[in-house]
Amino acid sequence: MGVGRVRPVVSGLAAYRPGKGAKQAEAEHGITDAIKLASNENPYSPPASVLKAIQDAAAGVNRYSDHGAAALRSKLAGWLGVEADCIAVGCGSSGLLQQVCVAYVEAGDEVVTPWRSFEAYPIFVALTGGDLVTVPLTEDHRIDLGTVAGAIGPKTKAIMLATPNNPTGLALSTAEIASFMNNVPTDVLVVVDEAYREFSDPSLGDPVQDLIGRFPNVVVTRTFSKAYGLAGLRTGYAVADPGVIEQLDKVLLAFSVNFLAQVGAIAALDSLDEIQILVDSLLAERSRVVDGLRDLGADFPDPQGNFVWLPIGERTDEVALALEQRGVVVRPFSGEGIRVTIGSPEENDRFLATFADVTS
Ligand SMILES: Cc1ncc(COP(=O)(O)O)c(C=O)c1O
């Protein structure tokens, strides 16, 4: 028996499982030189201008950050062309997704999501005492918004749509989401989780431009963790109707968007051209990995994020272990498939060669 009287929802909760690190794999398998392609991180450090801004700000960490992140909000507002009161800043976009659950979901309420999707959703919903209602993806790994709409009931408070979806990598268009909105009651929030937006096809539309303003119950979440290479600093933002933003702000843990996180995000927005160069190089690498895998006969959906989903079903654990023993750490979802993050050119070469080796 544990100490204290833990809430049953917490004692019954499986801990969030982050991607295995290279060092851990090295220790487990007695190898050296492992690479981690397991957490959809950016393999590149942020541009020098962003690093300098963070370094210059480091001496100021004796002070609390600006809890309201006013400078970052106003910069985001100008960039996105929305009012500053339509933007919330959070501790990564995970923080904002948790804030949505804390602010809107009570015990007995339901949150609907296609599944498989981002592994933090079940945790955030369980913590509120609410129930996650999962809707299966289609055979070809897509989100079927018709089935999602069919799962909405009187207890539904929110719908989580990751686009591009993690781990399957396919994205929804804003036209599809807009037509789905006709089937969603106006008092149900639709969270469009765009953690990987910067890697997806721009012709799919921009939810901030196309949906915010038109549908007051849409919340778009985005992050500086992926394309901007600031995962370790934890900054994300949400764009929504001011009435929703006001509630999200109330449940933000004080100062959890730390000072360096705010400085780094502002500097990143000042360095968009340099960041785009890094994103473009990752997109070129993604094409190369896709071609390499297709040459090997692999069958998988066209990726729209900085990762590839290989639905290898029952072979998942065996292939993931074989890759890991050879120093290539990917993210297995037992019985379903492996998710492989696009890394640096050297890392991708190594993955392709090792994958060919273990699957031949
Ligand atoms: C779909 C999705 N949403 C949100 C996040 C959260 O990212 P962060 O909290 O770093 O912004 C992730 C991270 O992997 C993700 O895959």
Q: pLDDT tens digit string along 300-333? A: 999 999 999 999 999 999 999 999 999 999 999 9
DSSP 85: G
Query: 271: Cβ below 6 Å to ligand 1?
Result: no
Q: Separation of 277 CA from ligand 1 center, angstroms? A: 22
Percentage of residues in the chain having pLDDT higher than 90? 97
Residue 18's pLDDT is what?
Answer: 81
Residue 14's pLDDT is what?
Answer: 83
pLDDT in tens, 11-37: 999 877 788 899 999 999 999 999 999
pLDDT in tens, 210-228: 999 999 999 999 999 999 9
State the average pLDDT for the chain: 97
Query: 174: Cβ below 6 Å to ligand 1?
Result: no
Residue 340's pLDDT is what?
Answer: 98
DSSP 27: H
Interatomic CA distance for residues 347 and 9, integer angstroms: 40
Q: Separation of 85 CA from ligand 1 center, angstroms? A: 23
pTM of the model as a whole: 0.97
Of 16, 36, 118, which is best to mutate to test ligand 1, by the most ligand atoms within 8 angstroms of its C-beta?
118
Q: Separation of 1 CA from ligand 1 center, angstroms? A: 34
Mean per-residue pLDDT, 51-56: 98
Domain boundaries, the chain: 8-45+273-359, 48-271
Residue 17's pLDDT is what?
Answer: 77
Residue 83 banded pLDDT, cuts 50, 70, 90: very high
| CA-based torsion, 330, 331, 332, 336: positive or negative | negative
DSSP 87: E
Concatenating the DSSP letter of every residue in 307-320 gives EEEE--GGGHHHHH
Architecture of domain 8-45+273-359: Alpha-Beta Complex (3.90)
Give, in order, the Cα–Cα distances in Å from 139 to each of 144, 158, 336.
Answer: 10, 25, 12
Residue 1's pLDDT is what?
Answer: 57
Q: Is 333:323 a contact under the CB 8 Å cutoff?
A: no
Q: Separation of 228 CA from ligand 1 center, angstroms? A: 13
Query: 162: Cβ below 6 Å to ligand 1?
Result: yes
Concatenating the DSSP letter of every residue in 265-292 gives HHHHHTTHHHHHHHHHHHHHHHHHHHHH
CATH number for 48-271 (one of 3.40.640.10, 3.40.50.10490, 3.30.300.180, 3.90.1820.10): it is: 3.40.640.10
Which among 174, 228, 224 is positioned nearest to 201, based on CA atoms?
174
Mean per-residue pLDDT, 183-206: 98
Q: Is 87:237 a contact under the CB 8 Å cutoff?
A: yes
pLDDT in tens, 247-294: 999 999 999 999 999 999 999 999 999 999 999 999 999 999 999 999
Query: 163: Cβ below 6 Å to ligand 1?
Result: no
Residue 202's pLDDT is what?
Answer: 98
Amino acid at 113: T
Atom 13 (ligand 1): residue with closest C-alpha?
A: 195
